[in-house]
């Protein structure tokens, strides 16, 4: 480990290593417990053990009520900044408490109780955050579905979560169009075998929608009536091990995985990370430019900043085009943001449109201290550009939906370690990160391998998958016994810095969004004219990666390939959603395979990314790779 005289990281990490339970017991003191935990870690409970067993607490209480009780009622909790709707609104902690109490009472009146699931399909509006907190308040388990997913994906999640109630809005606002959410919700409910008892619909001024009699309720009217009647609800007493939420994420098949977040461990881990990783103090303004539909939004738009008593910015807009590439600098300056957390792709978008950062001119960024990046690999060029443009430390950190907070990062609150561009720096306390080969043997420093984490995972990480303990064991714990498999590959250098280079499975990362190529292949294969297909992620300057589908048409197909390719692009958009950014389907005469029939996706990717490649010895028909190269060339790809 490189020494840094200013950083307490080495000392704190060593303290955790020496006494993990003592470390987390200390961290747990920053949380208000109704009943303190009986045991910090119980190795005999759950799939690999459970944190804070016997503890009773409530997440909404810790995120809202306790700050009002401590005299922070007049402080801003949320700043809503929406260039796409031309609105700004600030909610103080006291106002947030009133809103959450009312919506909690409305949900209770709709029959929602402890343990019931509630699905949210919402744009980036304050009501979405209020809804998540209202669920937490009454002990309901929320499951937020990102607005860029299509009806079919929403239906899959509704079917798995079996929500009692769904909360949605009439529309989302994209720079070039309004996205009518309500028809998508109606289609999804129609498709799903499991139906909600009720829906609460937020009618936005930009777009009205029809309500289904007997099922749908108008959000504003219902809440106004509850407010007039003086309705309110107190915080439910939750076991630390009770689920707070389920968040679906892409797996290696089309069926998404329901990542479960527990109550106590999540509170403790996020509170620790806000202070020690992000270096934020209560009362400061923290901005995560993501979406509440992703884990980054759950942890650092909603829960992390509020648990700490900071002010969180909810931004409904894009880095560019709303209205210009200076949007991020405007928000930082206007709201005195001290730290921004975004995905590298957002910076690449800004850099592309405004390489000289002319839009920074005249903006007062004096409050701004740190830029945090995650969601995809932070390429050194983008990091350098951001450092030079903003003149603040640019901190990459690496994590996953499953972990809920950073596995590796540079702990600003403990004293920033020297930055090595391209590395998310070092493991956070709680994570014992190892690099291993296929036989689970440790590899030397500097050698690439699978990144695994020694069990148990720290507080805040998933205890299991929703109603699927076996899938959790098989998907994460079986291949490397005693370890959690991250499905990322990388290496640790001689200074102990981690480098995360890419996935070992079929997940691709498109503009910071995690997508399954297997899921896209299922959609392509369902087209009647397709004999077989393969989807790979191709390098993209802006989005990091974009999907590219290769298809073989059924014998005797007479329609022009271009017509079918267009249908395939539309089909993926319809089934998975615009977020898949699937714009390229290429017809080829055959797919390259090994003699045992395995499609050579890795080699295809190398060709598409213009990297050096060689046909593997096991290839069945070497000419098939030449076909791929020729088809890619015809589309201007592959160098």
Contact footprint for ligand AMP (CB under 6 A): 249, 295, 374-378, 396-401, 424, 488, 500, 503, 509, 514
Number of residues that bind ligand COA (CB under 6 A): 24
Instruction: Please state the closest distance from residue 132 (CB atom) to ligand AMP, in A.
Output: 18
Using the structure block, give the residue that is written with the tokens 């799939």. 47
Instruction: Please state the closest distance from residue 158 (CB atom) to ligand AMP, in A.
Output: 21
Six-digit token pair at 446?
């500097």
Tell me phi and psi for residue 601, to 5 degrees: -65, -40
Distance, in Å, from the CA atom of 190 to the CA atom of 193, rounded to the nearest integer, reads 8
The 353-392 contact track toward ligand COA, x by CB under 6 A, reads ----------------------x-----------------
Instruction: Please state the closest distance from residue 541 (CB atom) to ligand COA, in A.
Output: 11
Q: Per rule CB under 6 A, is residue 296 in the interface with ligand COA?
A: yes
Instruction: Please state the closest distance from residue 246 (CB atom) to ligand AMP, in A.
Output: 14
Distance, in Å, from the CA atom of 63 to the CA atom of 16, rounded to the nearest integer, reads 26
For residues 381 and 363, the answer to whether their CB atoms sit within 8 Å is: no
Handedness of CA 79, 81, 82, 85 (dihedral sign): positive
Instruction: Please state the closest distance from residue 343 (CB atom) to ligand AMP, in A.
Output: 8
Q: Per rule CB under 6 A, is residue 343 in the interface with ligand COA?
A: yes
For residues 262 and 240, the answer to whether their CB atoms sit within 8 Å is: yes
Q: Which CB atom, from 250 or from 450, has the smaller least distance to ligand COA?
A: 250
Distance, in Å, from the CA atom of 247 to the CA atom of 302, rounded to the nearest integer, reads 14
Q: Which CB atom, from 130 or from 500, has the smaller least distance to ligand AMP?
A: 500
Q: Which residues pair with 516 in a beta bridge?
A: 507
Alpha helices for 28-92 (secondary structure H): 59-60, 66-67
Q: Which CB atom, from 84 or from 407, has the smaller least distance to ligand AMP?
A: 407
Q: Per rule CB under 6 A, is residue 511 in the interface with ligand COA?
A: yes
Instruction: Please state the closest distance from residue 176 (CB atom) to ligand COA, in A.
Output: 7
Q: Which CB atom, from 343 or from 390, has the smaller least distance to ligand COA?
A: 343
- Cβ-Cβ contacts under 8 Å for 454 (sequence gap 6 or more): 432, 434, 482, 483, 484
Distance, in Å, from the CA atom of 233 to the CA atom of 99, rounded to the nearest integer, reads 11
Q: Which is nearest to 398 in space by CA: 414, 381, 422, 419?
A: 422
Q: Per rule CB under 6 A, is residue 209 in the interface with ligand COA?
A: no
For residues 196 and 119, the answer to whether their CB atoms sit within 8 Å is: yes
Q: Which CB atom, from 551 or from 581, has the smaller least distance to ligand AMP?
A: 581
Q: Per rule CB under 6 A, is residue 430 in the interface with ligand COA?
A: no
Instruction: Please state the closest distance from residue 267 (CB atom) to ligand AMP, in A.
Output: 20
**Binder of residue 65, out of ligand AMP, ligand COA, none (CB less than 5 to 8 A by kind):** none
Q: Per rule CB under 6 A, is residue 147 in the interface with ligand COA?
A: yes
Q: Which CB atom, from 249 or from 517, has the smaller least distance to ligand AMP?
A: 249
Q: Per rule CB under 6 A, is residue 346 in the interface with ligand COA?
A: yes
Instruction: Please state the closest distance from residue 295 (CB atom) to ligand COA, in A.
Output: 8
Q: Which residues pair with 144 in a beta bridge?
A: 120
Instruction: Please state the closest distance from residue 372 (CB atom) to ligand COA, in A.
Output: 10
Pick the binder of ligand COA from 51, 286, 294, 368 (CB under 6 A): 294
Of 269-277, 338-346, 407-415, 612-620, the window that binds ligand COA (rule: CB under 6 A) is 338-346
For residues 201 and 219, the answer to whether their CB atoms sit within 8 Å is: yes
Distance, in Å, from the CA atom of 473 to the CA atom of 482, rounded to the nearest integer, reads 11
Q: Which CB atom, from 76 or from 343, has the smaller least distance to ligand COA?
A: 343
CA 619 to chain CA mean position, Å? 37
The 103-142 contact track toward ligand COA, x by CB under 6 A, reads ----------------------------------------
**Binder of residue 172, out of ligand AMP, ligand COA, none (CB less than 5 to 8 A by kind):** ligand COA
Q: Per rule CB under 6 A, is residue 515 in the interface with ligand COA?
A: no
Helices (H) and strands (E) in the chain, counts: 20, 31
The 572-611 contact track toward ligand COA, x by CB under 6 A, reads ------xx-x------------------------------
Q: Per rule CB under 6 A, is residue 178 in the interface with ligand COA?
A: no
Report helix angle 93-109 to 219-228, nearest 10.
100
Q: Which residues pair with 550 in a beta bridge?
A: 534, 586
Instruction: Please state the closest distance from residue 348 (CB atom) to ligand AMP, in A.
Output: 14
- Cβ-Cβ contacts under 8 Å for 314 (sequence gap 6 or more): 78, 79, 80, 81, 124, 125, 126, 129, 301
Q: Per rule CB under 6 A, is residue 312 in the interface with ligand COA?
A: no
Instruction: Please state the closest distance from residue 143 (CB atom) to ligand COA, in A.
Output: 16
DSSP classification of residue 404: S
For residues 157 and 586, the answer to whether their CB atoms sit within 8 Å is: no
**Binder of residue 179, out of ligand COA, ligand AMP, none (CB less than 5 to 8 A by kind):** ligand COA
Q: Which CB atom, from 106 or from 289, has the smaller least distance to ligand COA?
A: 289
Q: Per rule CB under 6 A, is residue 184 in the interface with ligand COA?
A: no
Alpha-carbon distances, residue 557 vs 117, 530, 554, 627 (angstroms):
46, 9, 6, 19
Six-digit token pair at 245?
């939420």
For residues 264 and 37, the answer to whether their CB atoms sit within 8 Å is: yes
Task: Please classify residue 111 by burial: count the beta carbons closer than 10 Å to its beta carbon, then call 0-12 exposed, 13-18 middle and 19+ buried.
Answer: exposed
Query: How many Cβ atoms are within 10 Å of 194's Cβ, its own excluded?
Result: 12
Q: Which CB atom, from 223 or from 428, has the smaller least distance to ligand COA?
A: 428
Distance, in Å, from the CA atom of 264 to the CA atom of 300, rounded to the nearest integer, reads 17
Q: Which CB atom, from 186 or from 242, has the smaller least distance to ligand COA?
A: 186
Given its phi and psi angles, is residue 404 left (phi above 0), alpha (psi -120 to 50 degrees) or beta? left
**Binder of residue 254, out of ligand AMP, ligand COA, none (CB less than 5 to 8 A by kind):** none
Distance, in Å, from the CA atom of 574 to the CA atom of 520, rounded to the nearest integer, reads 11
**Binder of residue 174, out of ligand COA, ligand AMP, none (CB less than 5 to 8 A by kind):** ligand COA
Distance, in Å, from the CA atom of 399 to the CA atom of 283, rounded to the nearest integer, reads 26
Site for ligand COA in 318-337 (CB under 6 A): 318-320
**Binder of residue 500, out of ligand COA, ligand AMP, none (CB less than 5 to 8 A by kind):** ligand AMP
Q: Which residues bind ligand COA (CB under 6 A)?
A: 147-148, 172, 174, 179, 290-291, 294, 296, 318-320, 343, 345-346, 349, 375, 511-513, 542, 578-579, 581
């Amino acid at each position: 480990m490189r020494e840094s005289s200013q950083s307490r990281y080495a000392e704190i990490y060593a303290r955790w290593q020496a006494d993990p339970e003592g470390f987390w017991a200390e961290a747990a003191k920053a949380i208000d417990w109704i009943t303190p935990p009986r045991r910090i870690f119980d190795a005999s409970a759950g799939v690999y053990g459970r944190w804070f067993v016997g503890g009773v607490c409530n997440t909404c209480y810790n995120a809202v009520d306790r700050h009002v009780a401590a005299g922070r009622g007049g402080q801003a909790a949320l700043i809503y900044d929406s260039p796409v709707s031309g609105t700004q609104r600030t909610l103080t902690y006291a106002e947030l408490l009133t809103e959450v109490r009312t919506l909690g009472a409305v949900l209770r009146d709709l029959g929602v109780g402890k343990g019931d699931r509630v699905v949210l399909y919402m744009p980036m509006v304050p009501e979405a955050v209020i809804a998540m907190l209202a669920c937490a308040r009454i002990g309901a388990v929320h499951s937020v579905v990102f607005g860029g997913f299509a009806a079919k994906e929403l239906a899959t999640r509704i079917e798995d979560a079996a929500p009692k109630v769904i909360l949605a809005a009439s529309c989302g606002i994209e720079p070039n169009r309004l996205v009518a959410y309500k028809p998508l919700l109606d289609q999804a409910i129609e498709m799903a075998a499991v139906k909600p008892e009720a829906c609460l619909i937020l009618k936005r001024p930009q777009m009205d929608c029809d309500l289904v009699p007997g099922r749908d309720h108008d959000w504003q009217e219902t809440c106004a009536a509850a407010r007039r009647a003086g309705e309110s609800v107190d915080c439910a007493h939750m076991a630390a091990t009770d689920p707070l939420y389920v968040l679906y994420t892409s797996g290696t098949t089309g069926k998404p995985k329901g990542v479960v977040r527990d109550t106590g461990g999540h509170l403790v881990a996020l509170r620790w990370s806000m202070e020690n990783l992000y270096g934020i103090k209560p009362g400061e303004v923290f901005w995560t430019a993501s979406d509440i539909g992703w884990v980054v939004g759950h942890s650092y738009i909603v829960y992390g900043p509020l648990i700490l008593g900071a002010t969180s910015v909810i931004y409904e807009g894009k880095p560019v085009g709303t209205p210009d590439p200076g949007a991020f600098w405007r928000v930082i300056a206007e709201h005195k943001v001290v730290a921004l957390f975004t995905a590298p792709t957002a910076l690449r978008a800004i850099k592309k449109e405004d390489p000289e950062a002319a839009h920074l001119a005249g903006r007062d960024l004096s409050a701004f201290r740190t830029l945090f990046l995650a969601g995809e690999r932070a390429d050194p060029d983008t990091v350098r550009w951001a450092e030079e443009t903003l003149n603040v430390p640019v901190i990459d950190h690496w994590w996953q939906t499953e972990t809920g907070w950073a596995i590796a990062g540079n702990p600003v609150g403990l004293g920033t370690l020297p930055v090595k561009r391209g590395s998310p720096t070092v493991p956070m306390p709680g994570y014992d990160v190892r690099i291993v080969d296929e036989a689970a043997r440790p590899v030397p420093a500097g050698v690439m391998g699978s990144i695994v984490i020694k069990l148990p995972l720290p507080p805040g990480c998933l205890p299991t998958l929703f109603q699927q303990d076996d899938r959790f064991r098989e998907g994460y714990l079986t291949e490397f016994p005693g370890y959690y498999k991250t499905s990322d590959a990388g290496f640790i250098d001689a200074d102990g810095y981690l480098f995360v280079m890419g996935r070992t499975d079929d997940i691709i990362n498109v503009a910071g969004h995690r997508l399954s190529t297997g899921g896209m292949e299922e959609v392509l294969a369902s087209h009647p004219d397709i004999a077989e297909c393969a989807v790979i992620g191709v390098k993209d300057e802006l989005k990091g990666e974009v999907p590219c589908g290769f298809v073989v048409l059924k014998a005797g197909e007479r329609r022009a390939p271009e017509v079918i390719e267009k249908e395939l692009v539309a089909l993926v958009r319809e089934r998975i959603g615009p977020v898949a950014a699937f714009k390229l389907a290429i017809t080829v005469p055959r797919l390259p395979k090994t003699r045992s029939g395995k499609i050579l996706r890795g080699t295809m990717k190398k060709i598409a990314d213009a990297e050096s490649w060689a046909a593997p010895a096991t290839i069945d028909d070497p000419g098939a790779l030449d076909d791929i190269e020729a088809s890619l060339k015809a589309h201007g790809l592959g160098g």
